[in-house]
Amino acid sequence: MGTDSTRNAILDAARQVLFDEGWEALSHQRVAEVAGVGRATVYRHWPQRVQLLQDACSAEVLVMHAEPTGDLRGDLLAELEAIRQELLQRRAGRVLIALADRAAWEPELAEVKRRFVSEGLSALRNLLEAGVKEGRLDAGLDLDGALAGLAGALVYRQVILDQDLTKAMVERVLDDFLARYAL
């Protein structure tokens, strides 16, 4: 077995363990078991647990972005819907919350978290930016504040309140936002 396929098998196993059994279960030993490789092999590639966490998480930062159509509300809704799916299906919420928790004590993870958040919301940010530039959103809009408001409301419901996000919730959050800032 070549180096790359072993690495991938380990990373796949790490993600599986992370999602199914939680962060605390993500040990070299457990990952080796699930990946079907020797324990020493996991240590060889990732001597530190935090690096394994980092690499396992990094591959999760993939939000499907739709092409903007020019319809502001429609584009925003599509993007928020993509984020909703990410939170629901790919369990980005769990990863995010685990990162937020560990990042306080493991500085390496703070950067992973920052990237995770910023990449996950980059398309949304672009849409809002364009909306302001084209005069369809209030110029006084605080971009970071708006992102925190939109994403925060969704993440909070999904991860803190344990609600499964519905399309209606997303629309409500968006329409409240637009009621305030759309021109």
Binding site for a second copy (CB under 8 A): 21-24, 94, 96-98, 100-105, 110, 113, 117, 142, 144-145, 148-149, 151-157, 159-162, 169, 172-173, 176, 179-180
Please identify, among the stretches 3-11, 95-103, 118-126, 156-164, the one whose residues bind DNA according to the rule CB under 7 A: 3-11
CA 96-99-173 angle, to 5 degrees, is: 25
**Radius of gyration, alpha carbons of the chain:** 19
Interface with DNA in residues 37-96 (CB under 7 A): 37-41, 43-45, 47, 49
Nearest one of 143, 119, 118 to 132, comparing CA atoms: 143
Residue 14 sits in the site that holds DNA (CB under 7 A):
no
> C-alpha dihedral over 27, 30, 112, 88, to 10 degrees?
-130
Nearest one of 60, 166, 77, 67 to 120, comparing CA atoms: 60
Residue 102 sits in the site that holds DNA (CB under 7 A):
no
Residue 44's binding partner among DNA, a second copy, none (Cβ under 5 to 8 angstroms by kind) is: DNA
- Residue 49 or 73 with smaller CB distance to DNA: 49
Per-residue x/- track, 19-48, DNA (CB under 7 A):
--------xxxx-----xxxxxx-xxx-x-
Give, to the nearest 10 degrees, the angle between helix 92-103 and helix 72-88: 70
- Residue 9 or 141 with smaller CB distance to a second copy: 141
Both ends of the chain: CA-CA distance in Å?
Answer: 60
Please, are residues 12 and 35 in contact by the beta-carbon 8 Å criterion? yes
**Number of residues lying near DNA (CB under 7 A):** 20
Q: Which residues bind DNA (CB under 7 A)?
A: 1-3, 6-7, 27-30, 36-41, 43-45, 47, 49
